[in-house]
Amino acid sequence: MYLETKRLRLEKFKLGDEQLLFELDSNPNVVKYVGGGASFEICRETIQNYLDFYSLDKDCGFYKIILKNTNEFIGWFHLRPEQNKPNDFSLLELGYRLKEEYWGRDLATEGSQALVDKAFSNLKVDVVSSMAYHENKASFRIMEKVGMSFENELLYMDLYLLYRYQISKETYFENLSKRR
The residue count of the chain comes to 180
pLDDT of residue 92: 98
Classify residue 128 by burial, with Cβ atoms within 10 Å: 0-12, 13-18, 19+. Answer: buried
pLDDT of residue 180: 63
pLDDT of residue 33: 81
What does the domain layout of the chain look like in residue ranges? 3-179
Distance, CA of 156 to CA of 176 (rounded, Å): 32
pLDDT of residue 67: 98
In order, the DSSP letters of 3-15 are EE-SSEEEEE--T
Q: Which helix (H) or strand (E) holds 173?
A: helix 169-179
Distance, CA of 166 to CA of 130 (rounded, Å): 6
Class of domain 3-179: alpha beta
pLDDT of residue 23: 95
pLDDT averaged over 10-residue windows placed end to end, the chain, 180 residues: 96 96 93 78 94 95 97 98 93 97 97 97 95 93 97 84 96 84
Distance, CA of 166 to CA of 143 (rounded, Å): 8
